[in-house]
Amino acid sequence: MQPPEARASWRIGVVVHPSRDIEDPLHDLLQWARQHGVEVVQIPVGGQDREVAPPGRAGDCDLIVSIGGDGTMLGALRAAVPVQRPVLGVTCGSLGALTSVSAGDVPDALGRFSRGEWLPRQLPALEIARDDEEGLFALNDIAVVRAGIGQVRTSIHLDGELYCQIAGDGCIVSTQLGSSAYAIAAGGPLLAAGAGAYVLTPLPTHGGSCPPLVVVADSVVRLQIRIGAGAARLEVDGQPVGTHEGWLTIGLRPDVATLVELPDQESLLAGLRRRRVIVDSPRILAEEHRTGSAS
């Protein structure tokens, strides 16, 4: 992409958290834009009625900036996918894994982006086909979750072969990015950055043994969902999208979204340690405290 500063004019679209205090980073963004002759518009996303700039379309922007946490960032990324625009995440009172810029560093980050001093981090997405319904995509995960009474019965097939049949609360299918979110909270494995794979993690089950399944990128997972007295709710990137019974066909498509990455930003593993998603053994921590060798 040609650096924006090399063009006569360019535009920033913003997506903001609906309630969090974002005044300081928003002020810095608007001030930087005024100083550099850059137009700022607000990109509409579902469930967001907080107005901070004139409305605009993602396709008319050179950059989309998310100000908030991971949920805000996912909304911005989903808005950017159809028009293939890069997204820069500003963390605002959040411990998010997706946001790469702290609230006080907005002017510096925008300057670096405008000069082309950034790296495009390509994110894959899950493609989900449903019986006789519109397809879905997920940048983090899709979850099949028990809704109400009764258990969800799920038959899991990998490339046409039955893997396991479970009855319980449902399951989660996650990208590498999403493996550090709902999936890891449910006991699933963490996929390292750049892993060409995705993962299926069962939610609590009524007996049996169905360990999490790491799936290579070109394989296909099919889930047959059956319900009893209750229902099975689908959640895509944390947002409910309705109930489902029948088949889901899930695959991984590379390079769906573009995240703005600055060369000196924190790595995924360092971020997980900072957020204490990954915590060292108490014995190790006690030894380091005693010897003063904490890393």
Specify the pLDDT at position 270: 83
Residues 43 and 96 in one domain: yes
Domain holding 199, by residue range, is 126-254
Q: How many CA atoms lie within 13 A of 170 on its CB side?
A: 25
From 87, 117, 147, give the residue that closes a domain.
117
Specify the pLDDT at position 62: 96
Specify the pLDDT at position 281: 95
Query: Is residue 284 assigned to a domain?
Result: no
Beta carbons within 8 Å of 281's beta carbon, 6+ residues apart: none
Active site residues: 70
Backbone angles phi, psi at 250, to 5 degrees: -125, 130
**CATH number of the domain residue 50 falls in:** 3.40.50.10330
Residues 14 and 44 in one domain: yes
Specify the pLDDT at position 96: 66
Q: Both tokens of residue 166?
A: 């479970």
Beta carbons within 8 Å of 64's beta carbon, 6+ residues apart: 12, 13, 14, 15, 43, 58, 76, 79, 80, 85, 86, 87, 88
Nearest to 223 by CA among 244, 208, 239: 244
Phi-psi region of 148 (alpha: psi -120 to 50; beta: other; left: phi over 0): left
Three-class DSSP category at 94 = coil
* pLDDT, averaged in runs of 10, over the chain (295 residues): 58 92 93 96 85 93 93 93 96 72 91 94 95 90 92 96 96 94 91 92 93 97 91 93 94 96 84 84 91 71
- Alpha helices (runs of H) in the chain, residue ranges in sequence order: 23-35, 70-80, 106-114, 182-185, 268-274, 282-291
Specify the pLDDT at position 277: 83
DSSP code of residue 1: -
From 117, 151, 186, give the residue that closes a domain.
117
Backbone angles phi, psi at 161, to 5 degrees: -105, 135
Tally of domains in the chain:
2
Query: Is residue 38 assigned to a domain?
Result: yes
Compute the distance between CA of residue 27 and CA of residue 131 in angstroms, rounded to an integer: 47
Backbone angles phi, psi at 264, to 5 degrees: -105, 15
Specify the pLDDT at position 101: 87
Q: What is the pTM of this model?
A: 0.89
Cβ(149)–Cβ(160) under 8 Å?
no
Residues 40 and 75 in one domain: yes
Report the length, in residues, of the chain: 295
Q: How many helices (H) and strands (E) does the chain have?
A: 6, 17
Specify the pLDDT at position 268: 81
